[in-house]
Amino acid sequence: MGGVRFASRNWRQEWVKLNSNRVPLSGGEWAIVARAILPQTSPLPIPPFPTPHSPYLGKMRKPLFANTLRYTRNMGGSLINLAYLVSAVLFILGLKGLSHPRTAVRGNQLGALGMLIAIVATLLNQEIISFTLVLVGLVVGAFIGLVMALRVQMTAMPQMVALLNGFGGIASALVAGASLIETTLPEVTPPVPLLQLTGATALSGIIGAVTFWGSLVAFGKLQGIINENPLQVSFLHYINGVLLLVAVVLGVLLMLNPTAVGYYWALLAVASVVGLLLVFPIGGADMPVVIALLNSYSGLAAAATGFVLNNNALIITGSLVGASGIILTTIMCKAMNRSLRNVLFGVWVPGEAGPKADDVYAGKVKATSPEEVAMLLEGARLVVIVPGYGMAVSQAQHAVRDLMQILQSQGVEVEFAIHPVAGRMPGHMNVLLAEADVPYDKLKEMDEINPRFEQVDVAIVIGANDVVNPLARIDPNSPIAGMPILDVDKARSVVVIKRSLSPGFAGIPNPLFALDNTLMLFADAREGVQGIINALKAK
């Protein structure tokens, strides 16, 4: 959209330059005259939507042109806004569809249709007189998007989302900046009141720059380019607060002096430092929460830019992204039993409180073998598989699907218990199991499966730890106290497949591994599952 506005400005400048030695009309008015008298012969493209700002127009031809112009502009604008409204409705329906695996594909399609309508409506905006920039952007963007979508691993999705958020944020900030620069030109009338334009531009600049740099750090930490440990610097949060205040003051100065674009660049620079300092002190494991939050920020930056451009589609979609991002952030924090403040400003020190591993495990852990597990499964009627981070690490999802199929072929009912923060990103387990074609209706959420664990013959925990740790229920001093968990310990038998007794993300021992009804299969998740399959086949 920034390209659209620039394109129209260049044209207008050219046109004014060409005609400046004739009658002193604005570029738009010249276009009306040229349209009337030179419809076929004009060497330059003629803008169909001129802006009647000049007093000359009023004096010369008001009755002839002004009404027609207003009517045509209003009609075009109304149609575009109507299309934007349709897109917004489709986005909302799309979001609703995405809330359930069964309707997710349809939801995605509805969202994509909404985006197509919004793009086409924007391209119909008759202020566009050169499509070259728009086309180049489309082709380059589509190519990069396609290559990335084809090449990215499922486990690298959080990084990919971080990058997308970051680019969304910086695009909003740059488009708002471009609009600001454009309005400093004498022949350009801002699309919205100047105070709104500068205020929204400042907001977009601050949020966009924070999002961009914050997302790059999140990407770097998850990709292993940057050390994922939290950077601990004294008074960092106070420094951040002061810098944010400086950025806001620069924004206010910009609102008071709209032509002083330098304030905007200074604001971008300060906000960029805030973005870096905000995410560096957060550990790599908390990055998914940070990414969900930055996703929300990127939406807010887009909404602010919508106020700069007076573009309803941007305002609505930006608000939707902003709201859904913050809802996701809250859900993740709740499922981890942590506050957002703790994630952002508290350094997560795993395993500080609670019992020591030796006290929990000494002499109580029973190791097992794939053959023994196969025997246990033979007598089972209902088996529930509980996947966790270890399944993602070992990419065991295909082997897990094979195990499900072989058990089903032997008349065993198999279901999957999915914890909302199992793994390292929202929906991590759902994505992996979907990739392996495990049917959606086999995936049971915590609230649905927990009341049924007492009827489960065998629960197979594959690379999960914190999400099945009963300490969350019974030890108020535990770092995970109060975190909702899957009540695996209530099943008749539990088999845990992991490589050792090492703790999970929270860094605390897990009494589940020492229960009477638990057997530990010490193995890599994929090898362990494959071993059970082989043993089942050998019978």
Cβ nearer to ligand NAP, comparing 401 with 498: 498
Q: How far is the CB of 497 from ligand NAP (least distance, A)?
A: 6
**Least spacing, CB of residue 317 vs ligand NAP, in Å:** 24
How far apart (Å, rounded) are the C-alpha atoms in residues 368 and 519? 6
For residue 144, how many C-alpha atoms fall within 13 Å in the half-sphere facing its CB? 9
Shortest Cβ distance from residue 418 to ligand NAP (Å)?
10
d(CA 532, CA 476): 37
- The CA–CA distances, whole Å, from 208 to 144, 160, 297 equal 21, 18, 7
CA distance 277 to 294: 14
Could you tell me where the DSSP H helices lie in 415-470? 428-435, 446-449
Task: Tell me the CA end-to-end span of the chain in Å, nearest whole number.
Answer: 65
Residue 254 near residue 198, CB atoms below 8 Å: yes
Measured from the CB of residue 469, what is the shortest distance to ligand NAP in angstroms? 8
- Rounded distance, CA 296 to CA 528, Å? 40
Token pair 């002061």 in the structure block, residue: 242
Query: With respect to ligand NAP, which residue has the nearer C-beta, 407 or 421?
Result: 421
CA 523 to chain centre: 34
Nearer to ligand NAP, 191 or 503 (CB): 503
- Amino acid code (one letter) for 324: S
Residue 98 or 261 with smaller CB distance to ligand NAP: 98
Give me Rg for the CA atoms of the chain: 29
Kindly give the residue spans of alpha helices, DSSP state H, lying in 389-452. Answer: 389-394, 397-409, 428-435, 446-449
- Which residues of this protein are in contact with ligand NAP, per CB under 6 A? 285-286, 288-289, 332, 336, 388-390, 393-394, 421-426, 428, 463-467, 498-500, 502-506, 524-525
CB of residue 288 to ligand NAP, shortest distance in Å:
4
Question: Residue 466 catalytic?
Answer: yes
Burial 235-254 (b: 16+ CB within 10 A, else e): eeeeebeebbebbbebbebb
How many other CB atoms are found less than 10 A from the CB of residue 122? 19
Residue 193 DSSP label: -
Report the C-alpha gap between 294 and 322 in whole angstroms: 9
Q: How far apart (Å, rounded) are the C-alpha atoms in residues 180 and 200?
A: 10
Question: 496, 509 in Cβ contact below 8 A?
Answer: no
SS3 280: coil
**CB nearer to ligand NAP: pick between 14 and 435:** 435
Q: Which helix (H) or strand (E) holds 279?
A: helix 262-279
Q: At closest approach, how far in Å is the CB of 473 from ligand NAP?
A: 15
Select 309 or 418, whichever has its Cβ closest to ligand NAP: 418
> CB 385 → ligand NAP: shortest distance, Å?
13
Cβ proximity of 18 and 48 under 8 Å: no
| Distance from C-alpha of 15 to C-alpha of 30, rounded to nearest angstrom | 8
Kindly tell me which of 222 and 316 has the beta carbon lying closer to ligand NAP: 222
- The pair phi, psi for residue 10, each rounded to 5°, is -55, -45
Contact status, residue 459 vs residue 488, Cβ threshold 8 Å = yes
Angle at 35 between CA 31 and CA 40, to 5 degrees: 125
Report, in Å, the least distance between residue 400 CB and ligand NAP. 12
From the CB of 410, what's the least distance to ligand NAP, in Å?
25
Catalytic residue among 441, 447, 466, 475: 466
Cβ at position 352, least distance to ligand NAP in Å:
14
Which one, 288 or 354, has the nearer CB to ligand NAP?
288
Compute φ and ψ for 130, nearest 5 degrees.
-130, 120
| 192 vs 501 by CB, closer to ligand NAP | 501
| Nearest residue to ligand NAP, by Cβ distance, number only | 504
275 vs 426 by CB, closer to ligand NAP: 426
CB atoms within 10 A of CB 359: 11
Closest by Cα among 375, 386, 313 to 77: 313
- Tell me the catalytic residues: 466
